[in-house]
Amino acid sequence: MTIDELRNHIRVIEDFPKPGIHFQDITTLLIDPECLNELIDRMVEHYKDKGITKVVGLESRGFILAPAVAARLGAGFVVARKHGKLPGSKYTETYELEYGHDSIEMHTGTIGPDDVVLVHDDLLATGGTMAAAYRLIRKFGASRIYFNTMIELTKVPRLQEFPTDIPLYSIIPVDVD
């Protein structure tokens, strides 16, 4: 399956969640079992020799594929949830979205200094969520970090705080702003 075939399964919803946003709806991509398997296969193939020990899934749509990728890589799955959703001891980071602000949290003790971490989300736009995840994971002292997304909005400028020294693998580039 080609990237164009995958891209053609993404539904774009205009002006959601606010005017001017071209929302990339992945539900139409994931409903097709061939597309779903292709996405997982591409991620596993790309990361199989990187020594990944933990896959962090960013809430909410990063939760969809991250556990499957973690299982296939023989790694653990760690959740990064929106503020207020995790009980117990946790770290919190606030970040900017292209349409507002939010926070993510991770339980303390889920990542250690020997871990090689893959951070997965469905979409990369400004990079605010990924930058916040990076700051969180640095608090744990992970030995190496990788970024992965299903979709990358290539024309959206990254926030200044987006870490450009972290390897990024995005499967489907989309040229919208």
Q: What topology is assigned to 50-174 in CATH?
A: Rossmann fold (3.40.50)
The total of other beta-carbon atoms located within 10 Å of residue 137's CB is 24
pLDDT tens by residue, 53-88:
999 999 989 999 999 999 999 999 999 999 999 999
Contact assessment for residue 146 and residue 117, using Cβ atoms and an 8 Å cutoff: yes
User: Residue 98: pLDDT above 80?
Assistant: no
Q: Is 57 helix (H, G, I), strand (E, B) or coil?
A: strand
Is the dihedral angle over the CA atoms 106, 158, 22, 29 positive or is it negative? negative
The region that residue 55 occupies, defined by phi over 0 for left and psi between -120 and 50 for alpha, beta otherwise, is beta
Q: Mind telling me the catalytic residues?
A: 61, 98
pLDDT tens by residue, 143-170:
999 999 999 999 998 888 899 999 999 9
Looking at every residue in the chain, the average pLDDT score rounds to 94
pTM greater than 0.95: no
